[in-house]
Chains A and B, each alone.
Chain A
Amino acid sequence: MIAHIFEDLCTGCNACVAACPDHVLDLGPATVPVIARLDQCQTCFMCELYCPADAIFVAPDQRAPEHVDPAAILASGQLGQMRRDQGWGTGDADPLREYWRLGPLLMEGAQRAVDRYKQSHPEWSPPER
């Protein structure tokens, strides 16, 4: 769930308030948005993706709120990591050049599982799709 907004990084653009699909955030009285309905947070990381200042941090457990240490988050390098992986705001002109490998990697893994299972269960055959 959303765990922290870094007030000194937040520009008050409210992109996260708009982008949250589940109405977790409200516009704040000053510039920083307010985490108003944390129980509605599904830990989808979309607020991080849409935050151009990398000022919002989502903790990894969707089952309950977590307390985090802001200094440790800053030191970890995790802040904004997903947005950089996504290639948003990095100037990468071709962020999806490896995306075609999704299907082949899925198939390769599935085949590996089938081969492995057949070794221990020679009589087994995969169900038809």
Chain B
Amino acid sequence: MSELKLEADVLVIGGGMAAGWAAIAAARTGARVVLADKGFVGTSGVTATAGPNHWWVPPDPAQREAAISRRFQSGFGLADKAWMARVIDTTWRILPELAPYYPFSRDGAGGTFFSGVRGPEYMRALRNFATDLGVRILDHHPALELLLHPDGSVAGAAGYARLERRNWSIRAGAVVMATGGCAFRSGLIGSRGNTGDGCLMAVEAGAELSGMEFSVAYTLSPAWCSTRTLPYTAARFFDVDGNELDIPPGSGAEHLRGLAAAFRGGPVYADLRDAPAPLRTILGRIQPATAPPFARKGVRLFDERFEVKLFGEGTIRGTGGLRIADAHCQTTVRGLFAAGDAATRELIAGATSGGGAQNSAWALTSGYEAGEGAATLARKSVRGNDGPVLRAGRTALRPAAAAKTVDDGAAIAVAAAQILPLDKALWRERETLEASQLLLDQVWAELVAHRQAEGLDQVGAREAAAIVATARWCNFAALARPESRGIHLRADAPRTLPELASRLVTGGTDALWTRFEADLQAGAAA
């Protein structure tokens, strides 16, 4: 089949909530919008299988100031109060606008419950809202690379339509990268397609990353199937002999390190008998996808102990991503905007994950800002969608040396083995990080030199390249921050150093580099 060629004012790449909001915001300005997603807008990404709550603070100045102040302090000096205020305000104003498409219900206190939404209905609503605004949605159209004007600004993207089996290219005045984070194929529910593609495409085009060291987050699930975590609230933990394990509660470092230490001794079992009683009857209606993995395994969720596992979240619930250079989420590459988990969330979460509510509010707001910003830029552009373009993609598309067989699965396994193991991630040390960097550099060099994919194979090959690239950035950034701060935990540098209270910028594909933002700004001012 011949190549699909399209033109748009704004091209949105990705299909989760940030991408949905970006497309909606851009289309509302009257822009012609195309959204190209790897999967299906409605089931793609980690929102579709979840139930995101949103950071929800009424427009009362005192309440908002208190919320911002509290989260600013817990961000370890790396968050930005103006951004926090914007995220709270945009979320409060925009989310209820989904009402014609989403069955908002009561809040148990006489009002409407807006802040929490169930994933499949939320994503279906975003899809229908965008479609009604005239957005052209291309499902199963993974993007492979960005197109650049000769001056380095973004001119569109190219990819492969995997159901129709043909290449596509779309010229656009601006591009929003909303491809999600990278979970390094940990098995985390919803994350299989979250392979860091957007970061790879963007960095190949010259964009920068920030906060990649803040990539340590895990979700507890039954060992056989990743689920959402509602039932595990109040869980007790036991070893294989039935001895109760001493695991501090919560979701932070203490809890994770407690579980990690327990896993060294063998399988760990959860006991949910202390869970709030109403969960037994209404779990199926709140989180319908949580019950089947138990029912179909013959495990009585709240009455029997079962083996658990921590599934890595990488840069999904972790914080790092594309560096944002202006108030509309434009990256340092002109015409390229970043939103959701593909972008850094440090502006509101600092050195922490931020947790689900901040993350969803960030995806909504950054998506909305990026969509509006992209539409504005595209409208001002006088260039039009013709003229020569360069294709920015390289690894796995255009090998540097003779093409030969490279095992994508083995490359992914090496990346996962450096990033996901609990002992490496929760007790980072220079020596281990340096050893990992060597391995990752070797795998990357092999992909750069020899991997060449055609047709459908391009999709998996680029995913492997993006996973390895993301692992390299995370590991490299972890080495470059010789302290512990937030979710970045160095066993060899357990203290937080006041002089390192600055965001860490990472870039490069082959030769990697890092700079503290404070130094970048000092350099620019000098």
Contacts and interface: CB of A to CB of B under 8 A. Distances in A.
A108 interface: yes
A44 interface: yes
Interface in A75-117: 78, 81-83, 85-88, 93-106, 108-110, 112-114, 116-117
Contacts of A99: 51, 105, 113, 116, 118, 285-286
Contact of B276 (A19, A43, A105): A105
Contact of A17 (B104, B163, B224, B288): B163
B233 A97 contact: no
Contacts, number: 193
Interface stretch (B35-43, B317-325, B370-378): B35-43
A102 B51 contact: yes
A49 interface: yes
Contact of A102 (B42, B140, B162, B286): B286
A93 B105 CA distance: 10
Given A82-B288, A99-B118, A109-B234, A20 B43 contact: yes
B226 interface: yes
A83 B291 CA distance: 12
A67 interface: no
B138 to A, nearest CB: 12
B74 A86 contact: no
A87 B282 CA distance: 13
Interface in B30-65: 38-40, 42-45, 48-49, 51, 53
Interface string B240-277: 00000010111011100000000000000000001110
B296 interface: yes
A40 B285 CA distance: 28
A68 to B, nearest CB: 9
B254 to A, nearest CB: 6
A16 to B, nearest CB: 10
Given A46-B120, A127-B252, A96 B292 contact: no
A46 B116 contact: no
A61 B187 CA distance: 11
Contacts of A88: 120
A21 B44 contact: yes
B40 A105 contact: no
Contact of A45 (B107, B289, B355): B289
Contact of B224 (A62, A83, A106): A62
Contacts of B369: none
Nearest to A62: B225
Interface of A: 17-23, 27, 40, 42-46, 49-50, 58-63, 78, 81-83, 85-88, 93-106, 108-110, 112-114, 116-117, 120-121, 124, 126-129
Closest 10 CB pairs of A and B: A109-B233, A21-B39, A113-B249, A109-B234, A85-B288, A60-B296, A46-B43, A100-B113, A85-B284, A42-B192
Given A46-B43, A113-B234, 7 more contacts: A82-B291, A85-B291, A99-B118, A100-B108, A100-B113, A103-B116, A112-B234
